[in-house]
A and B are shown apart, each in its own frame.
Chain A
Amino acid sequence: MSMVNQATVTHVKEAVAAHSDGALLSATEPHADTLQFTIEKTGIRAVVEGLINDFQARFLISVGTDARPITGDFAILHLFSLDREHLYVLLECPVSEKDARIDSITEIIPGANWAEREFQDAIGVRPEGHPDPRRLLLADDWPEGVYPLRRDFPYNYQPPPAENVRPQLREPPTGASVMPMGPFFPVLEEPSYWRLFVEGESIVGCDTRLFYNHRGIEKLGDSVSTYNEIPYLAERICGICGFIHSTCYCQAVEKAAGIDVPRRARYIRTIMLELERIHSHLLWLGIAGHIIGFETVLMQAWRIREPVMWLCEEISGNRKTYGMNTIGGLRRDLPDQIKPKLLETLAQVEKEAVAVRSAIIGDTTLHARTRGVGILTNEWAKKICVVGPPARASGVAIDARLDHPYAAYDELPPQIATQTPGDTWARVVVRVTELLESIRLVREGVSAIPDGPICADFKGEIPPGKVGVSVVEAPRGEAVHFVLTGGDNRPYRWRVRAPTYPNLQAVPAMVANANIADVPITLGSLDPCFSCTERLETIDRKTRQVRVYSHAELLEISRRKGRGGVSMGLRPIRGEETHR
Chain B
Amino acid sequence: MAEYPWACGPSEEKKLTVDVTPAKAGVHVSPEGAGFPFAREGPVRADFLESPGAGDTPRRSAMTAWLIKVLTLCLLNVAAALLLSPLFEGLMRKLRAAIHSRIGPPIKQPYWDILKLLGKEDLRTTGGVVYASLPALTLGSVLLLAALVPMGTGAPLAFAGDLIVVLYVAAMSSVLLMLAGFASASPYASIGSSREMMMLLSVEPTLAIALAVGAFKAGTLTLGGIVNWQVQNGPSISMAIGGLAFFLALQAVAGKLPFDVAEADQEIMGGSLVEQSGPRLALFRWAMWTKQLVLALLLVQVFFPWPHYGIYPIDLLLTMVKVLVVLILVTVVDVVNPRLRIDQAMGYFMRVAVSSLAALAFAVIGK
Contacts and interface: CB of A to CB of B under 8 A. Distances in A.
Interface string B255-272: 001101100111111000
B265 A186 contact: yes
B244 interface: no
Contacts of A179: 187-188, 191
B101 A177 contact: no
B100 A186 contact: no
A290 interface: yes
A444 interface: no
B344 interface: yes
Contacts of B260: 293
Contacts of B268: 516
A369 B191 contact: no
A362 to B, nearest CB: 12
Place the interface of chain B in its size category: 20 to 34
Nearest to B187: A179
A201 interface: yes
Interface string A498-536: 000000000000000001111110000000000000000
Contacts of B269: 185-186
B235 interface: no
Contacts of B337: 293-294, 365
Contacts of A519: 267
A186 B266 contact: yes
Interface stretch (A167-175, A264-272, A296-304): A296-304
Interface string A359-392: 0000101101100000000000000000000000
B266 A290 contact: yes
A299 B187 contact: no
A491 interface: no
A180 interface: yes
A293 B333 CA distance: 13
B58 to A, nearest CB: 60
Contact of A368 (B99, B191, B344): B344
B341 A518 contact: yes
A295 B96 CA distance: 9
Nearest to B261: A517
A11 to B, nearest CB: 50
A303 B100 CA distance: 9
B341 A366 contact: no
A297 B99 CA distance: 10
B240 interface: no
A82 interface: no
Contact of A299 (B101, B266, B340, B342): B101
A296 B336 contact: yes
A516 B191 contact: yes
B105 interface: no
B191 A177 contact: no
A187 B340 contact: no
Interface in B311-354: 335-344
A180 B338 contact: no
Nearest to B195: A201
A292 interface: yes
B146 to A, nearest CB: 29
B341 A293 contact: no
Given A296-B336, A299-B101, A368-B344, A517 B187 contact: no
A201 B342 CA distance: 9
A296 B99 contact: yes
Nearest to B265: A186
Given A291-B266, A517-B261, A300 B101 contact: yes
Interface in A255-293: 289-293
Nearest to B266: A187
Contact of A366 (B100, B266, B338): B338
Interface string A171-212: 000000111100001110000000000000100000000000
B187 A180 contact: yes
A295 B101 contact: no
Interface string B117-128: 000000000000
A365 B266 contact: no
Nearest to A180: B187
A296 B339 contact: no
Contacts of A369: 338-341, 344
A303 B335 CA distance: 16
B219 to A, nearest CB: 39
Interface in B170-188: 187-188
A290 B264 CA distance: 11
A115 B260 CA distance: 41
Question: Majority SS of interface residues in chain A?
Answer: helix
Contact of B343 (A177, A290, A297, A515): A515
A20 to B, nearest CB: 50
A368 B343 CA distance: 11
B342 A289 contact: no
Contacts of B265: 186, 293
A293 B257 CA distance: 8
A520 B267 contact: yes
B102 interface: yes
A292 B265 CA distance: 9
Contact of A517 (B99, B102, B335, B342): B342
A185 B269 CA distance: 8
Nearest to A287: B266
A303 B337 CA distance: 19
A501 B269 CA distance: 27
A293 B265 CA distance: 8
A177 B191 CA distance: 12
A295 B266 contact: no
A526 B266 CA distance: 16
Contacts of A180: 187
Contacts of B187: 177-180
A470 to B, nearest CB: 36
Nearest to A373: B341
Nearest to A360: B338
B340 A365 contact: yes
A365 B258 contact: yes
B62 to A, nearest CB: 54
Nearest to B263: A293
Contacts of A515: 341-343
B266 A300 contact: no
B335 A293 contact: no
B128 to A, nearest CB: 23
A289 B337 CA distance: 10
Contacts of A187: 266-267
Given A177-B187, A369-B341, A518-B341, A293 B264 contact: yes
B338 A292 contact: yes
A116 to B, nearest CB: 33
Nearest to A363: B338
Given A179-B187, A365-B258, A368-B340, A296 B267 contact: no
Contacts of B340: 365, 368-369
B336 to A, nearest CB: 6
B338 A293 contact: yes
B217 to A, nearest CB: 33
A518 to B, nearest CB: 7
Contact of B338 (A177, A178, A299, A365): A365
Nearest to B343: A515
B254 to A, nearest CB: 15
B272 to A, nearest CB: 15
B230 to A, nearest CB: 33
A294 B338 contact: yes
B266 A293 contact: yes
10 contacts: A187-B266, A293-B265, A294-B257, A294-B339, A300-B100, A303-B101, A365-B340, A368-B344, A369-B341, A519-B267
Interface of B: 96, 99-102, 187-188, 191, 257-258, 260-261, 264-269, 335-344
Given A185-B269, A293-B258, A299-B101, 7 more contacts: A177-B187, A293-B265, A293-B339, A296-B99, A369-B344, A516-B267, A517-B267
Interface of A: 177-180, 185-187, 201, 289-297, 299-300, 303, 363, 365-366, 368-369, 515-520
3 closest A-B pairs by beta carbon, nearest first, are A293-B339, A299-B100, A294-B338
